[in-house]
Structure 1
Amino acid sequence: MTTSFDFENAQYLTLPNGLRVLVHSNPQSTSSFVSLSVRAGHFYDPKDCHGLAHLLEHMLFMGSRHLSKPNEINAFIEKHGGSINAWTGTEYANYHYQCHGDAIIRTLPAFADMIRQPLLNKEAIANEIQSIDAEFKFKLKDDLRRLYQIHKETCNPEHPFSKFSVGNASTFGEHTTSAIRDKLKLLHSTYYCGVNMALCISTPVPFDQIQTLVAQCFGSFDKGQQANTDWPSLYTPDNLGVQINIQPLQSARRMIVTFALPGLHNDYKVQPLNYISHLLGDEGEGSLLAYLKSKNWALNLIAGSGIEGDDFKDFNVSFQLTQSGLDHKEEILIALFSYIELIKDAVNDVWRFNEKAKLNTLAIKYEDSVKPLSLVSDFAQHMFMYSPEEVATLRTIVATYDKQVLEKALSYFTPQNLRLKIIADQVPTNKACAFYQARYSVEALDSALLDKLLSPPSCSYLALPPNNPYLGDNYARVPIEDKYCLPSAIHSSEFSRFWFAQDNTFESPKGDIYLSFDSNAFSATRADVAAKRIWLSAINDHLQSKYYRAEIAGLHYRLYGHQAGFTLHTRGFTDQQTLLAKQLLEVVQHYHVPKDVFEHHKQLQLQSLHNTLMNKPTNRLFSRLSVLIQRSTQAPIELIDAVEEVSYEDMLKAQENAFQEYFVESFMHGNWTFDQAESFYNDTLPIYQGANIPTLHRSVAKLPIGKSLYHEVICEHDDAAVVLYLQAPSNSLKDTALCMVLEQMLAAPFFNALRTEQQLGYIAGTGYVPHNQHPGMAFYVQSPTHGPKDILDAMTSFLLDQLNEISFYRYYWSTIQHNLLKQLKEQDLSFSMKSQRLWVSLGTQDFTFDRNTQVAHCIETLSFEDIQDYANALADRSHCGELVLYAKGKHQGLGDAPENLITNISAFKENTPYY
């Protein structure tokens, strides 16, 4: 089951009104994907009304000529098996959706109507301004959003990037609703026209039929005038060669070195920035990061990210610093420029460039999880930059070495062309940015430092990466044997299991290996979990430079904790993966963490745990929900004390005990033969022979039926939030199916009622939320304007009304049923998803490996009366367990203390019954 998204055979056409269209025919696909890119981003906001383009994006969903109700387009697309969304960027706005394959014939006219004929109703405008204001307030304590605003205030004020792109009640409030409507109409008529739009479609419907459909749907758009693209420079000379100090909200120490570039990221033939970021971002031995870590100055490095547009690009080198690194900023800068000099000196090394090009080619050729909707959105925008012939090759072209292009790109990496951001609690500042009130300051970099960076000294520790030893030559597929298409036990006992399966679905030379250890020494108490966190952090850091070459050659690994212990997971190309897995397993078993490394990672874990307490309220509530429901999951607020108290000796003892008493389960899935799997098992035999305890149970709290439990989460955020969780009474197929069905039925009405109509908050929704495969559903709202009591009252009122009137949904039942069945039956969208599904089935002892199929069959056989009965039981509170989590923010709480308030997490978990 493979689906091609190479676009080499895509067909291009231009309508008489100038609209560019790219149609990718994909007969194998069961879905259609549509994206429209419009040159109408926030750069085109009028000077007196910043955020207008963003508001217009919202308004296009609030009713059009033929689908006049707010969000009716969403319901229409969902009825045809899909979803629709949009975003507003700098130069472009983008609208995109997917649906069942042939449903594009019915959905594309509605989509075009939404774009061409929005109603722009005054009441809806007022409501959406409140939604945007809620979105703005939701991000008030987001450090990335605060950093972005400071970026805008420190660039050329004549460049449109400096505009406040989001908008809020204050900026829109400077105008009457009628005036806003007039401005929206003008913005829409000016930019939403043929010459400023590009449409990309991937569909199984034949091209001739799509061509006719597109002409019918979009041919009536005005041709219009091309939007201006002649902007001044993003930075003036005064904006370069500067240091910008920024105080974050979360505990952080970062240094971002930004090089201001022209649009070099658009060079698809040579791809010079990919090559430069590949070398600067190297994490292997001899790399810049490895050097900085050896000096205890940096923890992480990311190269190449940064804002970009059609003719500008910020190339960021971002460092996560230690306290010592913060004190040695100048030395880090010198090391960075020393490494850049190495890259410049090695520009003649054609082999190095070709190796990177081969890595890119392999990554695209064997891409495991293509996201078609993102892809068509990218191609819709590509049509503004490239010719039809160029667009067709963008996903398949191999970068070509060109010394002059590389040297030209590297010529921008100079001290005079940089901006230095220092983000830390203690940096001096002298002003606050608009809207977000983040503290910052700007000053010119010292000329003596700039002179040092012009001629940096060489460093004997630094070296460019050698040839990659993990880059293979053989990516052939092995023969498939039908008897191994589902997991088979090569070995099975009370204390250990080893499973093997081949893949007969995806034509890929890849595979996954899972090795999972259950151990009380890493899970029984908070102290054990604290020791495990520090150990995992230290060992992952140790592995980073040693096996980085494997990572970039398409051999990936993860070492992570779970409720009962930890898992080692390798994935990617099967060539040499077993070697990597054996090497990693050896390190995991025998690496001795030095005491100074323990202390370092203990502090990192404390910082990480403290930062989780700064997460947005809704995120905090869902995290706490998992803690309360899952017996072996610990709350960050409680782990902080445990991490502070754990000693070096405690961690060593926990590590020793973890490999003395454990259960181990392994799964090898992919492009291997049975003989290769058996050989890997024999090579790792000692770990199975040493296993000596049964698997540890993943218990789930049994919530009481007929009454709600309440739990308050204290958040450092002004917004209030509520999560109402309903837990099914069993994990039976029927309870699972009915939970899924009811959540899907209520999702759109809940969003429309509480967000669109009642304007309770920007974040509002529902979700099917299982814990350890035990079904449940959640309803959530985060609000800057309403407290928990108002939110909860609105939620319960909505649910009671809808559940008592469930017969209203009879008309929608067949559509909901169809969509759920499609999701369940098309579960494996990628090879890695299939591996994960099979691995989860093994963990839950579903040895038929078809639970989704069984749930689908159950949904197929449900009658609407079954749904009514389930809804009635929910309304009567005679079926599901109930848990309300809330954060009050700046508002009042729930009033009088609820009778069933959980105040002590540990006491609750000790005294509650479990499934």
Structure 2
Amino acid sequence: MATQAAASMAVNVGHFDDPEDREGMAHFLEHMLFLGTQKYPLSGEYHAFINQHGGSNNAWTGTEHTNYFFSISADVFEEALDRFSQFFIAPLFTADLVDRERQAIESEYSLKLKDDIRRVYQVQKETANQAHPFAKFSVGNLKTLSGEQHQLREELITFYNQNYSANLMTLCVVAPIELSKTQAMIEAYFGNIKNQDIEKSYHDTPLFTPNELGKQINIVPLKEQKRLSLNFHLPAVERLYRHKPLTFISHLLGNEGPGSLLSYLKLRGLANNMSAGGGVSGYNFKDYAITFQLTDKGLANVDTIVLATFEYIELIRTQGLESWRYQERANLLNIAFKYQEQIKSLDLVSHLSINMHHYPAADLVVGDYRMDGLDIEETQQLLALMNAQNMRLQIVAQDLDTERTADWYHTPYHIENFTKKQLQAWQVNGVRAELTLPTKNPFIIEDAQTRSEPNVAAKPLIIHQQPGFTLWHKKDDHFNVPKGHLYLSVDSQVACKTPLQAAMTKLYIELLSDYLNEHTYQAEIAGLHYSIYSHQGGLTLHLSGYTGKQESLLALLFQKGRERAFTEKRFTQIKNQLIRNWINTTQTKPISQLFTSLTVTLQKYSYEPKRLADCLEDVTLEDLNSHIDDFYEHTHVEGFVYGDWLSTEAKSLATSVQATLSKVSQPSTESTRELINLTGCKTLFRELEVAHQDSAIIVYYQSTTSTPENMALFSLLNHTMSSTFFNELRTKRQLGYMVGTGYLPLNRHPGMIFYVQSPSAGPLQLLEAIDEFIADFNYAVLQITNEQWETTKLGLIQQILESDSNLKTRSQRYWISIGNKDHQFNQRENVVEQIKQLTRADLIRFMVASMRSKNSDRLVLYNTGEQHKQQTQLNTRHVLTDLRAFKKNSKKFQL
């Protein structure tokens, strides 16, 4: 049963429909529909209404579709539908907002100027058939949307009237409301959408003609990476959804177990990862991509990788088209459908409204999961198209020779025909013996049933406790799926007390995950998942999936983990890859770098990625093995088992885990999580050097205590401010595309942030705008009515108390509560009780006392964009320049 109501409208109009001289028009239209309608003319009213009532909303523009969606408390769903439906009936396209919103489009474009995904994508567009609509620039900017404001508005209205028609729209609604009442609301509010009976069709122009195929394209990224893609030009495969031949091919080609293509390449030091089945698709094409993350050796031996790929395709063609292999993949989809868990209403409506454009009504829900039998002819036809003449080879790496620069994102690239030497090198003359097809998967469950257990506890309980080891358990009695979640957090006093220790712990996790991958791939395919990730005290192992085989997977992980058979070759490759990843963070957008630095600045045992990379440079395999020995010498383990696990099974698991631990480790105390205490620091500034044209800023306010009262105060303050802040700084003042506020608890400690990334304003202007907003917000709070205030609080309360949508969400909530020492599992209820008691006067008093002064205790992180260097700089009296000394000498909160 849905706990929130949600709606999604998918319109069969996207950037493929942009006029030739107005690229980005569909995207621009999407933005404009949010800015007022005849019935609700205020530009920020819709966003404010959704936010006030505990909801969320968004939209996106794709190649052929635009999707608008929202979720909200069910008791105001009808009012929200009324507002939402007006987008498609009577939008205003207010004249003085046209220029403002094209500035927002420019900000969004500017935000991704240094995004390698966008930069590479633009090269794909530029090297495709220019007569195909895929070649159009989809985002738009001030250049493509230039001209007089009134003229652009007229074109916008014309585009809307010519393309937005009821027969091109699909609406999906999910609500805990009687169906007949929901239908009546839909008919009442959406029945007036004009139906122009538009017949939609695109020219059957091929995405790639022979002139664009048989090409190698070299692309230079900003981040250090080495990637190879083999892209095959296939026809549209949507009509084949009942048999999914391409899914089956990808299942075999993307296998990562022994004998697989990836296993072969990894053993020879040519590639670290691969994926099969990606690539863009559309009304008359599927650009099927096989992508490899290369090593240095792999980049120097591309022909070897291409030939091995063609050989594996040949292996599939000649030996792989067997019904039992197909049925194995079909069974996995069948089980996934049968035991699928509920997702958030917002995600569900968005997904289904798009499916309505692709599947007949009977298959809207099941269409993604259907595999009705192996159609050998269809599969052979697709495999036959996976040849060199029908391929484009894309290499993304630094230091490649280029002579062209792509439009819009300025990406250096080079394109040339395949040479005779390449084509000869890729000729398949048999399949090398090392390449084999996967064996039968022992982890696949034919069927599974949930088990019942009497006297199920209302909340997690400790079922095993010994020095250094505690295990919590709760049998699920709500979702009734044969799945479970197992968390094991391992704390070590040497995990991350220094940057070198933290770097080696992260390297250990990467190397272990890489080593385990081949051994656990079949389990992963069968719906048994695991992840290992680091935290401030050590590492966490999380297992999820079908309970019938989870213990087998855990035993396999422990067995292989103890082997620790890391080779020098893989150690070097994984270490270099990790260093590259850390260094590449300096190429991410400014606001992302500021968010990383926020936690690094405030958490004692968090470190800058560049510093971690520097620490790792001289580490040897011997050093790492020594660190692992030290790591496990003394540990503190806390775990949680939830789902279809009986208490007897959980107790047996606890005994097994403790026995395994006792062989390698002595009990220890839990590691402390320390957070810098900003009390008395006044406004503390830290500037980052970021190579980007935009400036960005984060202003962080920290609570003095971590009581439920302050959790309530900070979360209510954020909830009350967020939509107004967005509307004021983004919509009205156009300071940037990335604009917002957030409730941010660090180490359980409440806090709040304001953030902006701006192409138009430097840090001084951004901070002044934030301070001005905070200063004026008191008056805004005073002006709202008591009814509006209570509605605002109710919206937040409903957000906080929103029912867990599935087993995973509930397991995460319980696990976070355990980590936060909320052992009564009632912190959110306690916070809600405090929210109920808060008055407007409480909020105003807090803001006056703690936020209105420019000398308030707060942390300001910022960068100065390349185009703002000449602007007046921030006058910063308290500047944080020595981060190490600051973290060492500051007062700290401890968890």
What's the TM-score once normalised by structure 2's chain length? 0.96
1:180 aligned onto 2:156: no
Cross-structure match for 1:764: 739
Distance apart, 1:590 and its partner CA: 4.2
Cα 1:245–1:456 change in 2 (3 A) is farther
Root-mean-square deviation (CA), in Å? 2.0
Matched letter for residue 532 of structure 2? L
Equivalent positions of 1:124-203 (< 5 A) are 124-173=97-146, 175-203=147-175
1:221 aligned onto 2:197: no
Equivalent positions of 1:187-336 (< 5 A) are 187-224=159-196, 225-336=198-309
State whether residues 244 and 443 of structure 1, in contact with CA within 8 Å, keep that contact through their aligned partners in structure 2.
Answer: yes
Cross-structure match for 1:899: 877
SS of the residue corresponding to residue 171 of structure 1 reads: coil
Distance apart, 1:451 and its partner CA: 4.8
State whether residues 850 and 857 of structure 2, in contact with CA within 8 Å, keep that contact through their aligned partners in structure 1.
Answer: no
Cross-structure match for 1:699: 674
Distance apart, 1:685 and its partner CA: 2.4
Alpha-carbon separation, structure 1, partners of 2:675 and 2:777: 29
Cα 1:177–1:363 change in 2 (3 A) is same
Cross-structure match for 1:752: 727
Cross-structure match for 1:32: 5
Instruction: Structure 2: state its 5+ residue gaps.
Output: none
State whether residues 132 and 168 of structure 1, in contact with CA within 8 Å, keep that contact through their aligned partners in structure 2.
Answer: yes
SS of the residue corresponding to residue 675 of structure 2 reads: coil
Distance apart, 1:879 and its partner CA: 11
Cross-structure match for 1:866: 842
State whether residues 71 and 345 of structure 2, in contact with CA within 8 Å, keep that contact through their aligned partners in structure 1.
Answer: no
Distance apart, 1:827 and its partner CA: 4.8
Distance apart, 1:704 and its partner CA: 2.5
* 1:854 counterpart (811, 823, 830): 830
Matched letter for residue 593 of structure 1? F
Cross-structure match for 1:675: 648
State whether residues 55 and 70 of structure 2, in contact with CA within 8 Å, keep that contact through their aligned partners in structure 1.
Answer: yes
* 2:861 counterpart (885, 890, 893): 885
Instruction: Give me the identity figure in percent.
Output: 34
Alpha-carbon separation, structure 1, partners of 2:499 and 2:179: 60
How far does the alpha carbon of each residue in 1:537-576 deviate from its partner, in whole angstroms, 9 at most, with x for none? 1111100111101111111111121111112221111112
How far does the alpha carbon of each residue in 1:18-56 deviate from its partner, in whole angstroms, 9 at most, with x for none? xxxxxxxxxx32322211122221111111111111111
* 2:813 counterpart (819, 837, 844): 837
1:797 aligned onto 2:772: yes
State whether residues 257 and 521 of structure 2, in contact with CA within 8 Å, keep that contact through their aligned partners in structure 1.
Answer: yes
1:718 aligned onto 2:693: yes
Matched letter for residue 156 of structure 2? L
Instruction: Structure 1: state its 5+ residue gaps.
Output: 1-27
Matched letter for residue 290 of structure 1? S
Cα 1:151–1:395 change in 2 (3 A) is closer
Distance apart, 1:877 and its partner CA: 4.9
Distance apart, 1:670 and its partner CA: 1.8
Alpha-carbon separation, structure 1, partners of 2:235 and 2:344: 29
How far does the alpha carbon of each residue in 1:583-619 deviate from its partner, in whole angstroms, 9 at most, with x for none? 2123334414333333222211211110111111111
* 2:628 counterpart (644, 652, 655): 655
* 1:914 counterpart (883, 892, 895): 892
Matched letter for residue 193 of structure 1? S
SS of the residue corresponding to residue 613 of structure 1 reads: helix
Matched letter for residue 692 of structure 1? P
How far does the alpha carbon of each residue in 1:502-522 deviate from its partner, in whole angstroms, 9 at most, with x for none? 112211111111222111222
Cross-structure match for 1:350: 323
State whether residues 244 and 371 of structure 2, in contact with CA within 8 Å, keep that contact through their aligned partners in structure 1.
Answer: no
Alpha-carbon separation, structure 1, partners of 2:678 and 2:882: 16
Cα 1:55–1:276 change in 2 (3 A) is same
Distance apart, 1:485 and its partner CA: 4.3
State whether residues 810 and 864 of structure 1, in contact with CA within 8 Å, keep that contact through their aligned partners in structure 2.
Answer: no
Distance apart, 1:299 and its partner CA: 0.7
Cross-structure match for 1:686: 659
Cross-structure match for 2:504: 531
Alpha-carbon separation, structure 2, partners of 1:833 and 1:30: 13
Matched letter for residue 177 of structure 1? Q
How far does the alpha carbon of each residue in 1:762-798 deviate from its partner, in whole angstroms, 9 at most, with x for none? 1100111111110101000001111101101111111
Matched letter for residue 731 of structure 2? T
SS of the residue corresponding to residue 665 of structure 1 reads: strand
Cross-structure match for 2:39: 66
How far does the alpha carbon of each residue in 1:1-32 deviate from its partner, in whole angstroms, 9 at most, with x for none? xxxxxxxxxxxxxxxxxxxxxxxxxxx32322
How far does the alpha carbon of each residue in 1:92-119 deviate from its partner, in whole angstroms, 9 at most, with x for none? 1121122223533222222121222111
Cross-structure match for 1:808: 783
Distance apart, 1:741 and its partner CA: 0.1
Distance apart, 1:344 and its partner CA: 0.9
Matched letter for residue 440 of structure 1? Y
**Size of the alignment, in residue pairs?**
887
Alpha-carbon separation, structure 1, partners of 2:363 and 2:545: 30
State whether residues 305 and 317 of structure 1, in contact with CA within 8 Å, keep that contact through their aligned partners in structure 2.
Answer: yes
Matched letter for residue 727 of structure 1? Q
State whether residues 464 and 651 of structure 2, in contact with CA within 8 Å, keep that contact through their aligned partners in structure 1.
Answer: no
* 1:633 counterpart (594, 603, 606): 606
Alpha-carbon separation, structure 2, partners of 1:346 and 1:391: 34
Matched letter for residue 126 of structure 2? E
Distance apart, 1:456 and its partner CA: 4.4
Distance apart, 1:218 and its partner CA: 2.8
Distance apart, 1:216 and its partner CA: 2.7
Matched letter for residue 886 of structure 1? Y
1:92 aligned onto 2:81: no
Alpha-carbon separation, structure 1, partners of 2:116 and 2:45: 34
How far does the alpha carbon of each residue in 1:252-279 deviate from its partner, in whole angstroms, 9 at most, with x for none? 1000111111111442210111111111
Matched letter for residue 806 of structure 2? S
SS of the residue corresponding to residue 859 of structure 2 reads: strand
What's the TM-score once normalised by structure 1's chain length? 0.94
Alpha-carbon separation, structure 2, partners of 1:675 and 1:76: 49
Alpha-carbon separation, structure 2, partners of 1:615 and 1:212: 48
Cα 1:634–1:810 change in 2 (3 A) is farther
Equivalent positions of 1:458-537 (< 5 A) are 458-537=431-510
How far does the alpha carbon of each residue in 1:610-647 deviate from its partner, in whole angstroms, 9 at most, with x for none? 01111111111111110111111111122122112333
* 2:799 counterpart (823, 826, 833): 823
Distance apart, 1:452 and its partner CA: 4.8
Equivalent positions of 1:338-487 (< 5 A) are 338-368=311-341, 370-391=343-364, 393-394=366-367, 397-487=370-460
Distance apart, 1:697 and its partner CA: 0.8
Which of 1 and 2 has higher RCO (CA within 8 Å, sep 6+)? 2
Cα 1:319–1:495 change in 2 (3 A) is same
Cross-structure match for 2:556: 583
SS of the residue corresponding to residue 238 of structure 1 reads: coil
Alpha-carbon separation, structure 2, partners of 1:422 and 1:733: 53
State whether residues 303 and 425 of structure 2, in contact with CA within 8 Å, keep that contact through their aligned partners in structure 1.
Answer: no
Cross-structure match for 1:118: 91
Alpha-carbon separation, structure 2, partners of 1:169 and 1:871: 38
How far does the alpha carbon of each residue in 1:703-755 deviate from its partner, in whole angstroms, 9 at most, with x for none? 03471111111112111000000001111000000000000111011111111
Equivalent positions of 1:598-613 (< 5 A) are 598-613=571-586
State whether residues 307 and 428 of structure 2, in contact with CA within 8 Å, keep that contact through their aligned partners in structure 1.
Answer: no
State whether residues 685 and 880 of structure 2, in contact with CA within 8 Å, keep that contact through their aligned partners in structure 1.
Answer: yes
Distance apart, 1:392 and its partner CA: 5.6
Alpha-carbon separation, structure 1, partners of 2:131 and 2:584: 36
Distance apart, 1:454 and its partner CA: 5.0
Matched letter for residue 109 of structure 2? F
